[in-house]
Structure formats: structure tokens, C-alpha cells
Structure 1
């Protein structure tokens, strides 16, 4: 989806996200690495909300999975990036290099599904993403999904990764405002139970009916 620029960013190359409206934003890849303390308050809070076996969708290099395992919580990360999953495995983190929409172990039995770091907007379709999270959860299971507290509505755009000397392919991504969380959840069979502000970020607790 991202081309190879995402993997190059994980290896230390400076990369940016280019939006179709012309905006350019630094890719915060350092924040996603194991051992990063860029937003340790957020990481501690969301990991502390996980009850029982947890699957992290779009886990990247696996920092949240690593924290869960360290706390004794059974956890698995899923990501399509070969480089990200190799970094996770090198750190002893249990991950699968797979499409989250494909076959996954434990479907219908996970207690918690994580969608952090904007992953609710994967593919530009938060309905599809949350529906998939719900499919993976057991009855009464909980999806902990991060939404954008500073945005209203859904901003689905074509974006691409860029570096100093390379440009990646366009792909869809969505920024999803918290004001849409309850409606999207209801559309796919989830119920918004509560909202957890964590500093300037926010997590919605979405429960399988």
C-alpha cells in the first residue's frame, strides 16, 4: 500500500505524508518504535485498558504489543509491513505479517482489539475497519479505537509518502473525528460505551452487542 518508503522510514530515513490537498506532514515513525517514550502516558493508558487476549491491528513495529506482553497480557500484532514485523520479531514481540482483513487466528474470540495511531482510518474506510475489529472480537468484546478530537466528520483523502529523493504511490487514508464514533460503531454492530481522553488524544471504547 505504501510502497517501500514506509520500510525505509522505519530504517531511519526522513519521510513525510503528502495529502491530496497539498498538505505535507512529517511521518512520526519514531513514535511507533519499541522503546519510544514520545507519548508514554498514552501508551500506558491504552495498554492498561486491555482486558484479556488482545489483538493490535496495524501494530507497526509492535510497541503496544510489547508493553502488553510485558504486563502478562496475551497479545498479537498484525501488520502488512515486512520491515515493521521483522523489527517486532527481533524484539521478541508476537506479530503476523498479514492483511488485517484476511484470515487471522482467534477470529471471534479476542477480548480486546486495538486501533491506535489513526488506524481506524486505514484504507479511508472506518466502517470497514471497525466492522473487521468487531468480527475478531468475542461477544461483549471491546474495540479500543483512537479518534481525532480536533476534527469534525470524516476526512478521507488520497495520501502518499515522500522522502528527499523518492515518492510513493497514492493510497486512501481517513482522519475520523470523535463526533462520528458512535454513529459508525452503530452502523457495524458496535456500541460506544465510553470515551477516554488521554492528554490531547482520545480513545473510544466500542463494545460488541
Structure 2
């Protein structure tokens, strides 16, 4: 895939954190390093190579649970959308970054460039939604995001969430950086472990179904009200 930049898309990267050059370039090349950097200097490594690769055993545990039509929120380069499509599911990836959407389509999936908080195709009719790879942090307020996903899936729909690897519940301000170029704009993000996720989910009206771990990654399945 050719190298691209946020500037090449005609987007103001300074006002759009996930459209900054470090993130777009990492997606285009398929490799890091890439981090979320907190204002105090702490950095969370982002697994670009895994995102841009094929599905692994942890991903397969999610794919096995997906029920029919599935929307992947924050799909990135689209490994899950492509795998779901190959399994015969109607699948849609949603991502704000045009490089991510392009890669998802090239991988054989279907994806749209949008925020989850904007109107989505087939809203209210998806049987399954995915929030993987830290995407429970979108917007910085997990409860708001979980309430929004209830509008996206049909009554009784399934949501699979990947939780943080530690029992943490924090809202932070971060920037996307590769440690070399100028970072993206600051934005709110959240990190939520399984205990905190359960509290947030039940407060947002979801029913806790199950939790599991594969290769150090932690997941939970939630049900929306019927």
C-alpha cells in the first residue's frame, strides 16, 4: 500500500487525533512503533503489526462468538471485517481514518469512514458489535460509548468488548505519537479492565454474559435489552 499522510487526504490533522501523520503512516506501512502518550510522559504501545496482520487465536475466539451481521467499531485496517466476510457474515468496519478504511476494503471487507457517534448504515439492525483493540476507550467515557452501541445493535444484540489487560479504570488525555514526528492532537481516552467494564456495562443497560482470556487478552460478551 502506498505511503500516505493526513495532509494528503485534505484533512486537518491538528484537529483530528486519529488522522495524524504518525498513525496514518503506521497503518500505511503496517508497522510501528506507535504509542498513546499521556501528558505525564507515560506511553502505551499500540500493536500496529498485529492490527495489520491476520487473525490470531484471541481474534478467533471473538469470531466464533459473532452472531450473523456484525459491525466492527474502530476497525482499523480491517482484519476482523475481512475474516468475518470470509466466514459468510455481513460485516461492516467503521473507522475515522481513511487509510484504515482503504486497507480494510483492500483486505476484502466493507468499511465506512465515520465516527461511531454519527449515524451508521443499518443502525439498530446489527446482531453483533465489536469493540476490540482498546476501542472501549473511544471518547474517554465508556458509559457513553456503551449507551451509543445499544442504539447500533438490535434488541437482544451481542457486544464483544476487549478490556484492558489490567484491572484499571481511568480517563486520560493522550496523543498518538511514533516518538519521531509531531504527535497528533490531544484527545480523551479511557482504559477499562474487566471489573470496571462490568460496572459500566450494567449501568448502561447491558447484561453481562461471559468473560474469557486468550493469549493475555481479555474479553467480555454483553447482551442488549430485548
Contact 2:85–2:108 (Cα < 8 Å) also in 1:
no
Unaligned runs of 5+ in 2: 1-15
Distance in 2 between residues matched to 1:174 and 1:70, nearest whole Å: 32
How far 1:129 sits from its partner (Å)?
1.2
State whether structure 2 residue 109 is matched by structure 1 residue 100.
Answer: no
Contact 2:137–2:189 (Cα < 8 Å) also in 1:
yes
TM-score of the aligned structures, taking structure 1 as reference length: 0.92
Unaligned runs of 5+ in 1: none
- Equivalent runs, 1:46-65 vs 2, <5 Å: 46-65=62-81
State whether structure 2 residue 174 is matched by structure 1 residue 159.
Answer: yes
- Equivalent runs, 1:60-209 vs 2, <5 Å: 60-152=76-168, 154-163=169-178, 164-209=180-225
Contact 1:17–1:24 (Cα < 8 Å) also in 2:
yes
Distance in 1 between residues matched to 2:181 and 2:201, nearest whole Å: 40
Contact 1:30–1:36 (Cα < 8 Å) also in 2:
no
State whether structure 2 residue 36 is matched by structure 1 residue 17.
Answer: yes
Distance in 2 between residues matched to 1:58 and 1:131, nearest whole Å: 16
CA-atom RMSD in angstroms: 1.5
